[in-house]
Amino acid sequence: MQEAGKAAQPASYGPGLHNVILTFYGRYRSRGDPFDRDQPEPMPNLYEIPEFLLIVAITYIATIAFYLVSSLLVLAFVKRFPERRIQKTRDGFKRAGKDIRQSLKGQTSTGLFFGAAMYIQWNGLGLFGTDDLTWWNAVPWFAGLMVFYDTWFYWQHRLMHTKWFFRFHQVHHRSVAVTVWSSESFHWLDDATTKVFYTLAAFLTPVPMAALIAFRIFDMSKSTLGHCGHEFTASFLTRLPLPFMCTTFHDRHHSHFRVNFAHTFTFWDRLCGTIETDYDQQVIDWEAQGKQQG
């Protein structure tokens, strides 16, 4: 019997993600009077859905939501600067509808593999557990993810350009003049061989969950900007002697096909001879144009 003077305790719905969702859904809702918060209302039976599939579904929905919202925001911005358009004689928006539909299909692999990473970390299934994110390890973890993901992306991208796999990667290259809607338009197998990086990182390292989520947000944001078709980031930071890249780098990959494969840094392309030979000069030209336009 409940002791006098103590409020009724909310019902427990078990461990794991189900408990979190059920708690947020109806912890303080009542069965009868909507203003009576002493008892929780009956919960939907989420236990009929395996926790793994629940996480995959949430990851997929979050990915698509971020894709749509970030694309609309970037598109609203770049339309104000037609002079910054990189490929001025091509109209990539003719493919917008196809790119969006392909993104909705292709991102199922992101839901699966990034969702698997979240499941591993949520349940402590990694080989080395999961670190807590602190002020001391946040930057090293994020920098490490940037370097290792860039390496993974470069060699996966080179693999997708071979005769054995290009039929899958060709889905993405149908957009020659890229737009924000092209950023996630991949065949599911192409996307899977990229996003499995997150699953492996969660299983093989103690990367904090918050760091992995933050890096995924960075990954999607960079992809949206890298496919926006307009140059705003060209500066001394995106050419030699520094290893960063501007939007033109990936845009030229779509228009010239056999150059500029990396994700974040240029050093793999420089080392392997796959960088466009006049890339640094293109950056200098964009810098000069920016100064002229104020």
Clarify whether residues 13 and 133 are in a common domain: no
Clarify whether residues 151 and 173 are in a common domain: yes
Clarify whether residues 94 and 42 are in a common domain: no
Clarify whether residues 252 and 188 are in a common domain: yes
Clarify whether residues 40 and 125 are in a common domain: no
Clarify whether residues 59 and 32 are in a common domain: no
Instruction: Give residue 248's pLDDT band: very low, low, confident or very high (50, 70, 90).
Output: very high
Check if the beta carbon of residue 221 is closer than 8 Å to that of residue 70.
Answer: yes
Mean pLDDT of 262-286: 97
Query: Which residue among 28, 48, 68 closes a domain?
Result: 48
Q: Give me the helices (H) in 123-165, please.
A: 138-160
Please, which contacts does 252-259 make with residues 24 or more away whose CB atoms are closer than 8 Å? Answer: 252/276, 252/279, 252/282, 254/173, 254/175, 254/176, 254/177, 254/178, 254/182, 255/87, 255/90, 255/176, 255/177, 257/173, 258/161
Instruction: Give residue 262's pLDDT band: very low, low, confident or very high (50, 70, 90).
Output: very high
**The total number of structural domains that make up the chain:** 2
Domain with 30, as residue range(s), is 1-48
Exposure of 250 by Cβ count < 10 A (0-12 exposed, 13-18 middle, 19+ buried)? buried
Clarify whether residues 27 and 156 are in a common domain: no
Residue 9 has pLDDT above 80, yes or no: no
The residue to which tokens 């299983």 are assigned: 203
Alpha carbons within 13 A on the beta-carbon side of 225: 16
Clarify whether residues 156 and 127 are in a common domain: yes
Clarify whether residues 96 and 10 are in a common domain: no
Clarify whether residues 144 and 247 are in a common domain: yes
Clarify whether residues 67 and 141 are in a common domain: yes
Clarify whether residues 72 and 89 are in a common domain: yes
The pTM of this model reads 0.84
Would you tell me the crossing angle of helices 96-106 and 188-204 to the nearest 10 degrees? 40
